[in-house]
Amino acid sequence: MALPEFQRGYVWNRDQVRGLMDSLYRRHPIGSLLVWVTESVGAPSRGDGAVAPGVVKLLLDGQQRITTLYGITRAKPPEFFDGEASTFTGLRFHLEREEFSFYMPTVMKDDPLWIDISALMKKGNDGLGEIYAQFSANPELAPRIGEYAGRLTKILGIRDVELHIEEVTGSDKNIDVVVEIFNRVNSGGTKLSKGDLALAKICAGWPEARDRMKATLAEWKEQGYDFEMDWLLRCMNTVVTGEAKFLHLHDVGADRIEEGLNRAGSAIEKLLNLVAGRLGLDHDRVLFGQYAFPVMVHYLDRKGGKFDDAGEQDRLLFWYLQSALWGRFSGSTESFLDKDLHAIEKMEGGLGRLLEQLRLWRGSLRVEPDHFGGWSIGARFYPMLYLMTRMGEARDWSNGQPLKSHMLGKMSKLEVHHIFPKAVLYKHDYERAEVNAVANYAFLTKDANLAILDAPPEVYFPQVEEKFPGALASQWIPMDPELWKVENYGAFMAARRALLAKAANAILEELFHGPLPEEPKEEAPAEAIAPEPAPALAPVPGGVDSDEEDRALHELNEWVVKQGLPEGDYLYDLADYDTGLSLAVLDLAWPVGLQRGLSTPVAVLLNEPPETFVAAGSQHFRCFSSIEGFKEYVEKVVLGRGEQEGVG
């Protein structure tokens, strides 16, 4: 029995492993298996091992259960394993209490009744003999050998439990039909995407494709850009086929796929260097409009990886920035990708047509003050403010130094600063949306943030201006001291939004190399205008309410790191996987789980409205509304610690 290539990796946690073994020990039903019986030639199965000649049984439903049993009974993961092996290693069984738990030295070290399940499974009857001999020599355990022997035999009997197997057979059961069947029987889990199906077909002809793509994605992640497999596939698809839809890949040979991946990877790296160096968007949290990349990748690849001049380069960046600001790919992604790819089908004049199509779709390409009226980091104008900080003459308020990207390196050295501190505004009864408005943000170094703390602007602004004249204005601060008072917060925000809009338009004109295009005239050809209206900018739910919440979340992050687990993403901008549209801001999140490939995405949401939980749930996040509940989950489920050690 083999795994089909479209199956995801191992994602169970220790609590699920314990639950499976407990059910099997008590002979409770654990469900049937579903397998696809197909010809072994060209069957897209995972792993390096050759499948048997003739037909092969590919496991459609039951991967987590069978992988767990394999790992426990053989004390090692299968060859094709893609996940966290520690999930099923170290499982013990207490012969007196008849319970399963993972190894804890302080609790189990001196208690002979804790039996190593994998060791017993591997040794079989020889393992039973060793345990009997050990117990016979112990006066306290010897009288109960018979009782314990029955329980040990019951554990070994798990290997002989019969599971019902349903088979999908027949020449009409091609991979498209099988994926549909998989999604129906897996209705409680994560569905296969169009990219999963495309990758399955690619791997049928090029088995190394998944590993190659995962390695490429891992390299970019180290540089601060965490992309999904579907996104890379989409970029590669535009290079190979010139189309957006994956169906055009189905009949493409492995050689062309491999070549296309290499070309797409090269174009992506050049574009990432370009947007980081020219626009300052140096990591994925500020790299909005990611689905504009397939178009840019196709364009740059067609140009042989080089622009004719700086003007062409900047105008493509202008198109990217405008697409991101107005959410061109936030709705019908494939439809807009197809339109834009068609516009550059002929390279001569293609960029001009791309820009004209954008103008006809959007109308005005100018930024207005109200566009900076959004709130929280989920707003599209948050990355725009970051870009302006890195591209312009913005200076730090602790040392007066420019904040350009080439001087600072990665964004980890910059922090979001509330110009009017949250504590000050909440004390004056301002609402969350007003407190966390983008126009109340500035990007500063950590030193500047620490120096200011909760001081109101009317206190620290004069100090900054005295030490570093012009530093405030460089960050688009209105210089009327009356506006620095908290009672004039509304007027301050209106004035700063106007300054921000003026600066944003100056940057756009710099990239466009001239005045911004005017709105389309009435006589514009109707067929050139996209039928979908440009989406309106809308606030997203989420965000941190108070300094108390802020401190609690940072302390929780420190606690998680002490447990040997990765640090969570603070104020994580949750985007829809298919559209890239911002859905919510999650207080503290682990989008790939607390252990890679082990647990599901997790988020801690304190004092959040129902909309935030709904948005997180739509992207398969497991959400916790209290720090205590989250810690209990980490202790019991992720780390597999029993009640004896508490939940700290």
Q: Going by C-beta distance under 8 Å and a sequence separation of 6 or more, which residues neighbour residue 492? A: 420, 457, 478, 483, 484
Residues in the chain: 648
- Where the chain has pLDDT below 70, the residues are 5-8, 39-54, 174-176, 178-180, 182-194, 197, 200-201, 204, 250, 331-332, 375-379, 405-413, 519-540, 543, 545-547, 575-582, 595-599, 640-648
Q: Write down the pLDDT at residue 353.
A: 94
Q: Going by C-beta distance under 8 Å and a sequence separation of 6 or more, which residues neighbour residue 125? A: 156
* Helix, strand, coil percentages for the chain (3-state, nearest 5): 50, 10, 40
Query: Which of 55, 48, 64 shows the shortest CA–CA distance to 13?
Result: 64
User: Which residue reads 């690849």 in tokens?
Assistant: 301
User: What is the spatial distance between Cα 216 and Cα 44, in angstroms, rounded to a whole number?
Assistant: 21
DSSP, collapsed to helix, strand or coil, labels residue 563 as: coil
- Asked whether 124 and 50 are in contact (CB, 8 A), the reply is no
Q: Write down the pLDDT at residue 461.
A: 96
Q: Going by C-beta distance under 8 Å and a sequence separation of 6 or more, which residues neighbour residue 495? A: 478, 480, 483
DSSP, collapsed to helix, strand or coil, labels residue 621 as: coil
Element (H, E) at 408: helix 405-408
Query: Which of 206, 137, 159, 14 shows the shortest CA–CA distance to 637?
Result: 14
| CA end-to-end distance (rounded Å), the chain | 43
Helix ranges (H only) for 75-174 are: 105-108, 117-123, 125-136, 145-156
User: What is the spatial distance between Cα 420 and Cα 269, in angstroms, rounded to a whole number?
Assistant: 38
Residue by residue, what is the 3-state secondary structure of 59-92? EEECHHHHHHHHHHHHCCCCCCCCCCHHHCCCEE
Q: Going by C-beta distance under 8 Å and a sequence separation of 6 or more, which residues neighbour residue 188? A: none
Burial of 415 (0-12, 13-18, 19+ CB in 10 A): middle
Q: Going by C-beta distance under 8 Å and a sequence separation of 6 or more, which residues neighbour residue 38? A: 55, 56, 58, 173
pTM: 0.69
User: Which residue reads 């913005």 in tokens?
Assistant: 394
Which tokens hold the place of 216?
């490429």
Q: Write down the pLDDT at residue 478.
A: 97
- Asked whether 480 and 495 are in contact (CB, 8 A), the reply is yes
User: Which residue reads 């009356």 in tokens?
Assistant: 482
Query: Which of 41, 40, 36, 43 shows the shortest CA–CA distance to 55?
Result: 40
In this structure, which long-range contacts are made by residues 235-238, counting pairs with CB atoms below 8 Å and at least 24 apart in sequence?
A: 235/264, 235/267, 235/268, 235/293, 235/294, 235/297, 236/260, 236/261, 236/264, 237/198, 237/294, 238/264, 238/294, 238/295, 238/297, 238/298, 238/337, 238/341
Classify residue 424 by its DSSP letter. H
Q: Write down the pLDDT at residue 293.
A: 96
Q: Is 538 left (phi over 0), alpha (psi -120 to 50) or beta?
A: beta
DSSP string, 233-300: HHHHHHHHHS-SSGGGGTT--HHHHHHHHHHHHHHHHHHHHHHHHHS---STTT---GGGHHHHHHHH
pLDDT in tens, 389-417: 998 889 999 888 888 754 444 433 677 88
Q: Write down the pLDDT at residue 57.
A: 82
Percentage above 90 pLDDT, the chain: 40
User: What is the spatial distance between Cα 76 and Cα 61, in angstroms, rounded to a whole number?
Assistant: 21
- Asked whether 374 and 537 are in contact (CB, 8 A), the reply is yes
Q: Going by C-beta distance under 8 Å and a sequence separation of 6 or more, which residues neighbour residue 440? A: 418, 419, 420, 434, 493
User: What is the spatial distance between Cα 621 and Cα 609, in angstroms, rounded to a whole number?
Assistant: 16
Paired strand residues for 582: 575
